Amino acid sequence: MHIDCVAVSSGPGSYTGLRIGVSTAKGLAYGWNVPLVAVPTLEVLCESVLRKENVKSGSLLCPMIDARRMEVYTALYDRSLKEVMGVRPQVVEDCRWLPDDEILYFGNGAEKCSSILNTANLHFISGIKADARVIGRLAAKYMNEGKTADVAYFEPFYLKEFVAAPSHIKGL
């Protein structure tokens, strides 16, 4: 078997999940002496929608990753995955932060927001998850474009700093 690269979802996302995934990917890439390709998680979600849905021209894609409470990690992309609104944490209290364009929103953070994001221009798509096959397809594209990460210095995109809280479990 020949391995060309190791691909990893680079974030944003769960601190622990990103740390474990990136550490494993870096170890494999280093051990096999192949490039590391980091694929943004929000782009993976968008690509999943583009493969599943017929996205109309002019529609925007709004992936949402659950960041607990009523906060999500999100961005806005057009159909070519060009960033329209940068990646950011967003407390979802209403939809004033979104433009009036037709927007498809999805991901594990979107369902909890569907009762709040209920205007005519916003359309919820269920069942969209980060898929390793999509990460692989995007990684192949990135490899062809020469977009690789430095195995020694690459760190995941956490978006927010990790804050440790005291344990609520007795004895820890």
Residue extents of the structural domains in the chain:
6-144
Residues 6+ apart with CB under 8 A from 7: 25, 37, 38, 39, 135, 136, 138, 139
CB 52: neighbour CB atoms within 10 A?
A: 12
User: Residue 50, class by beta-carbon neighbours within 10 Å (0-12 exposed, 13-18 middle, 19+ buried)?
Assistant: middle
Residues 6+ apart with CB under 8 A from 102: 56, 58, 59, 60, 121, 123
Q: pLDDT tens digits for 22-69?
A: 999 999 999 999 999 999 999 999 999 999 998 998 999 999 999 988
* Homologous superfamily of domain range 6-144: ATPase, nucleotide binding domain (3.30.420.40)
Q: How confident is the model over 124-133, as a mean pLDDT? A: 92
Peptide bond between residue 166 and the one before it cis (omega within 30 degrees of 0): no
Residue 144, classed as helix, strand or coil, is helix
* Residues 12, 83: Cα–Cα separation, whole Å: 15
Per-residue confidence band for 168, with pLDDT thresholds at 50, 70 and 90: low
- Higher model confidence: residue 168 or residue 100? 100
Is residue 108 scored above 70 in pLDDT? yes
Residues 6+ apart with CB under 8 A from 152: 30
Residue 119 has which token pair? Answer: 């205007």
